[in-house]
Structures are given as structure tokens and as C-alpha cells.
Amino acid sequence: MADKAAEYAIKIASYDRTNKDISKWKQALKSAEDPDYPDRSRLMNLYHDIMLDGHLTAITEKRILNILNTPLIFQSKGKENELVANLIESEAFENLLRYIIESKLYGYSLCWVDITQPGVKKPKVTLIDRRHVEPTRHIYKYKESDSLNAGIDYTLPPYPPYTLTAGREDDLGLLLKCAPYVIYKRGDIGDWATFCEIFGIPLRVGKFPAHDPNARKELNEAMDETGSANSITMPDTCSIDFVENKTSQSGKGVHETFADWCNNEMSKIILANTMTVDAQGGNYKGEVHAESEEGIFEADRRFVLRILNNQVYDLLELHGYNPGDARFKFVDEDSTPIKDRIDIDLKVNQAVEIDPQYWYDRYNVPMPKGGAKARTVETGNSPSSNGKKQLSEPKKGKSKGGFLRFFD
């Protein structure tokens, strides 16, 4: 589709950088939800603008990087597809993973996936501009301001072999809920900056005799000559006072508190917690919040795997990668030292018989020609042996490879 842009005179405009307020957010939401003429372009322009917020960028990247940094394999019975493995290591596939999980934030992602000629042509994955896509009608508009009649139905040939979608067609994404907090925070930060400008710099007050009109002119000239700091001139019979609000927080406190509140609300929306982003509270509270965050991450991994093992699998089969019965799988990295892992696995194997295939996969042991099988060793009579042969633990002083003697 990206390569067809010139043919269909598709025009990508610059993003809307006008000031955003709550009324524009409501108008964009109303336009996107219109049952007869849905238009997401305003909302996508707003999303692009609020992503300039540093806190929102940090919390959304946590979800994205959790997917990108978790090892991914494509295997069948321990055997890896070399073509797919090379594809997984490419920048194009990393972009694809990013666009898939971004659909949780934006509601929907439409990608142009060119993985033809595996191993020969460099793969390319492009995100189709969300301002031009109307998921409920499957239309890619020539211009973001066009009606739904002026566009391409990307579900019709020849596009399906090169397109991938992620997200629900009626979903507007988590950024919809974050947008008001970014808008409010911007106003708050602007007021805070004004406060700092007025009250953060000393105010110079000059007084002149009320009966001498020339003195005022001379005083103003003197103020100008001594710099551009805040200043005021008045007759010596007048005075000016700054009265602070004593009923609540004032100055830095009220602005900072409100900005922090907005950040916390966004953290709850994206990560279902606040304490894994900004350090606060005790360790036990942080552990509880980390558990809720891990639940979000686990759901994201399942979401990505469903798309990989369905839509991406179909594209692999269509473009000659010969996927067979292999499947994508995330590999959780185990930080347990290998010596401790071996001890644990051997003890478990004494209580419950473990499939020999596990040992080859777990410790990356080369598979013998005869297939996976474990060699048993006599351990003597013991209450737990029941007369059966069991795997014995490695003797102390053995090297990391000592456990290999249990395998053929």
C-alpha cells in the first residue's frame, strides 16, 4: 500500500500543531464516534501532539519495550526455522512488534508488510498513517480530510497479502483517556512558568514625588538602564502589595501537586499503577504495584502472540517461509545461576519424571541422532527410589558441563 501512494495520489499532510484544549478533545472524540461518517483524523492528530509529553512517553515505552526486549523464538519440536529466525532479528520485525503493541495505545494499527523473497530481499514494514485509516469501514483515505468514498478498501485484493492489522476496529485506544490529563498539565505548567516569571525574579519598585512630573520620566529612564528585570514606578504616596492565598497551597506547591496528580492518573491508565515510574512509599507497596504491572505485561505478550501466530504466520506461509507447525513463543529469561537450575531440575526429576526433550531445550544440549532420551544412573536404595533408576546429582567440583553425562 505504501508503494501505491503515488499511483492513488495519496497526500500526507503535516500534523496539526495548533494549541489543544478540552473542547478540541471532545470535538475529536465526537467525530471519531460518528456512526454515519466516522473520522479519526482529528483524534490521531491530537494523539501525536500529546505524545510530546515526557511522562506519557516514559510509561508507554515501558509497555512497548517489554515486548521488544523479551526474546522471541519460532520453533517446532526444538527445531528453529532459519529464515524466520533471520526475519525476527531484522529491524523490520522489531518495527512490526512496536506497531502491534502500539495498537493498545492508539486503538488500531494498519501495517504494510513486505517480506517477499525471504533471505534475498530486505524485509520492510511500514505503518500506514493512522490519520488516513478508518478501521470500521476498512478504508485508507487519499487525504485525511476526504470522505469515506475517497479511499482504498485494504481488505480487497491485491492488498491482503501485504497488510496486517492489530487492535479492535471500534477501539480508540488508551491515549483517549490520557489526553485530558496532558492538556490540563500543559495549562498548569504554563501557569507555573508565569508564576516563576512574576514571583521568581525580584520586583524593583521606584517611587517619585507626586508633585514632580519630571521625576517620573527620569525614574523610568533609570529603570530601563539598569536591566530588564521586573520593575514598577509609582508616586511616593502610593503602594503595591502582593497578597498570597493562605487558605491552601500557593505558588510552587499547588502547581507541582497538580502536575504530579496528572502524571499519576496517566500511570494508572497505562500501567495500572504509579509506583514503578516514580519512587515513593515503602518496598511492599512497590511490590504490589509491580505485580499489577506484570499482569499488564503478560496480557500484552498474549495479545502479540495471537497476532504473530495467526496473521503473521499466514504471511510467512504465503511468502515462502515454510513455517510448518512451528509457533512463535516468548522466552522468559531465567536469572537463576545455572548451577542452581541444574540442582533444582535434578531434584524435581527425582520426584516427577521429566520429558527428556526438556533437558535439551532447557540447557541447549545438541540433540542426538536417535532423538531425545535421558540416561539413568543407579543411585542406590533409598525410600524415594522405589527400586527405580534415577538421575544422580553432579558431584561437587564438577564443571558446568558435568550434567551432560546424563544425556546421549
Query: What mean pLDDT comes out for the span 49-67?
Result: 96
Cβ–Cβ < 8 Å for 117, 187 = no
pLDDT score, position 398: 41
> Beta partners for 79?
76
pLDDT confidence bin for 3, thresholds 50/70/90: low
pLDDT score, position 345: 84
d(CA 87, CA 93): 6
pLDDT for 388 beyond 80: no
pLDDT score, position 379: 45
CA 53 to chain centre: 14
pLDDT confidence bin for 270, thresholds 50/70/90: very high
Exposed, middle or buried, 101 (CB in 10 Å: 0-12/13-18/19+)?
Answer: buried
Give how far Cα 251 sits from Cα of 230, 231, 232, Å. Answer: 18, 20, 22
Query: What mean pLDDT comes out for the span 61-82?
Result: 93
Least confident window among 47-61, 169-183, 334-348, 385-399: 385-399
> Chain-wide mean pLDDT for the chain?
83
Cell numbers representing residue 374 in the block: 535421558
Least confident window among 84-98, 109-123, 368-382: 368-382
For 178-225, the pLDDT digits (tens) are 999 999 999 999 988 888 877 776 767 778 787 777 887 877 778 777
For 12-55, the pLDDT digits (tens) are 999 999 999 999 999 999 999 999 999 999 999 999 999 999 99
Nearest to 342 by CA among 385, 388, 405: 405
For 224-237, the pLDDT digits (tens) are 777 666 677 777 76
Most confident of 137-146, 187-196, 386-395: 137-146
Share of the chain above pLDDT 90, in %: 52
Give the residue, 340 or 53, on which the prediction is more confident.
53
Q: Where are the beta strands (DSSP E) in 270-318?
A: none
